[in-house]
Structure 1
Amino acid sequence: MTRALRAAIVGVALFSPIALSACSAGQVTQTATQQRDQVGAMAEVGDITLRQVQLAFPRSASYEAGDDAELTMAVVNTGDEPDTLVSVEGEGFDEAEISGGSGASGADSGEIELAPDETVFVGPDEDASVTLTDLADPLTVAQSLTLVLTFENAGEVTVRTTIATPDSEEERGEAFDFHHSEEEGGEGAEGAEDIARERESAIGDED
């Protein structure tokens, strides 16, 4: 995630009111909601807000069956108590490998800890990660996966995620310098004229 995107996510998270109440762990909450914004899915459950939930853009522009897909998102805990992402489930992949967050002890810890009033960024270049392993079918930008994320205190929330768009444009080649080309052409023309004059002078000497 870029710094600008981080700032945008944090700003919206801090100033958006959370109107949902916390629910018991291990239950599908009635207050869990999901909505779409311009940069990915957003969902709320209890004191937890998920923003920009997407699958990382693959190098080949689509995932093949058997590939692993990295989940990217910002997880905001607006509550006064810590919480923990304990599982990510759904169809279309083998399992979700989870690691990171506050107090993480190592890779593949199986959970992401969330301190009170904290935002944890999840993604390939972040301290926390969620990897969906062994995709069952090819996945393109027009398709999506439905995931169920379970938090220890806030409960479960269902979110539909699609592939993210590229975060950088392809580099363009160096522009053609017409001015430089004209200069080279001018030098070439002057050289040709000099050669022609030398030839005419040599012919005159022979006569």
Structure 2
Amino acid sequence: MRSLGTRRAALVAGAATVAALALGACSAGQVAETAILDTPIAGVNAASESEAGKVLIRNLQVEYPGIKGYEANGNAPLEVSLFNETNEAVTVTISSQPAADRPDVITARQVGFVSTATVTTPGEVAGASADPSGSASPAASAEPASTVRPAQIKIEAQGSAVFKPTDAATLQAVGLSGELKPGMVVNLVFEFSNNATPLTLQAPVASPLTPAPRGSAEIHEEAAEGGH
């Protein structure tokens, strides 16, 4: 027969075990929820190799353009993060070149930072006051003009550079060799001033943040059903 002290000890131990199991279940639930919320990065990751150290390339991808994609000869905004893990400044130059035996891989005429500025050009405005000779007075008209600066990015020692499609001057693949649609890639070349081996990477078109609407698919399904 157990003493009163022994029975109390057993009850305390049992309560502690139940509490531990309950806490473990709660913890497991939180870990699972965190795993769902923490989505993986969809872009391409790579790193240069040199005696001085690495330059990391993270989350390289093309901004999602919608199901229609980008037109041939158009521009495609890029997203990428660069991290210089060396103890010296490194300049990263990004360009594009055709992929051997890969006609499905799109290239660009140039890779650079595209910014739009409003320029004033002389012109004629309808309804402008006429001079005594009867001709309309010249007036200035404002038109947007895009400028492209080569993608030559200097990153200080142990520094970083992050580029988003929402930047004022966006990093873009300019002059696409063909239509660029979801599921396709752009061939890019990364060169480094510290004599690291150049990297050829294929930037994929990013996935949409929300699923595409099913309106067109539902219409096709109804038409197919009506035809039977």
Q: What is the TM-score normalised by the length of structure 2?
A: 0.50
1:162 partnered with 2:197: no
Q: Deviation at 1:84? A: 0.8
1:39 corresponds to 2:54: no
Distance 1:110 1:38, change over 3 A: closer
Asked whether 1:123 is paired with 2:164, we answer yes
Local SS of the residue matching 2:201? strand
* Partner deviation per Cα, 1:14-67 (whole Å, 9 max, x = no partner): xxxxxxxxxxxxxxxxxxxxxxx7511111103101011101111555111121
Q: 1:113 aligns with which of 151, 154, 169?
A: 154
Equivalent position amino acid for 1:132 in 2? A
1:159 to partner: Cα distance: 1.0
1:95 equivalent in structure 2: 110
* Ranges of 4+ aligned residues in structure 1 off by more than 6 Å: none
Once the two structures are TM-superposed, the CA of residue 162 in structure 1 deviates from its matched residue by 0.8
Matched residues in 1 for 2:151 and 2:71: separation? 25
2:190 paired with 1:144: no
* Residues 60-94 of structure 1: per-residue CA shift (max 9 Å, x gap): 55111121011111111111111011232223221
Contact 2:75–2:172 (CA under 8 A) maintained in structure 1: yes
The offset of 1:167, in angstroms, is 3.9
Unpaired runs of 5+ in structure 2?
Answer: 1-37, 99-106, 115-146, 213-228
Instruction: Return the match for 1:53 from 17, 35, 60.
Output: 60
The change in CA–CA distance for 1:113 and 1:65 in structure 2 (over 3 A counts) is same
- Alignment RMSD, CA only? 3.0
The aligned residue for residue 135 of structure 1 is 176
More strand by share: 2
1:71 matches 2:112: no
Counterpart of 2:88 in structure 1 is 81
- 1:18-37 mapped onto 2 (5 Å cutoff): none
1:84 is paired with a residue whose SS is: strand
Task: Report the Cα distance in structure 2 between the residues aligned to 1:79 and 1:88, rounded to whole angstroms.
Answer: 22
Residue-by-residue CA offset, 1:114-173 (whole Å, 9 max, x unaligned):
011122111222377421111111111111122111121134111111101234678xxx
CA spacing shift, 1:139–1:109, aligned 2, 3 Å: closer
Higher relative contact order (CA 8 A, sep 6+): 2
CA distance in 2, matches of 1:107, 1:95: 9
Paired-residue identity, %: 20
Gaps of 5+ in 1: 1-7, 9-36, 100-105, 171-207
AA in 2 matched with 1:119: S
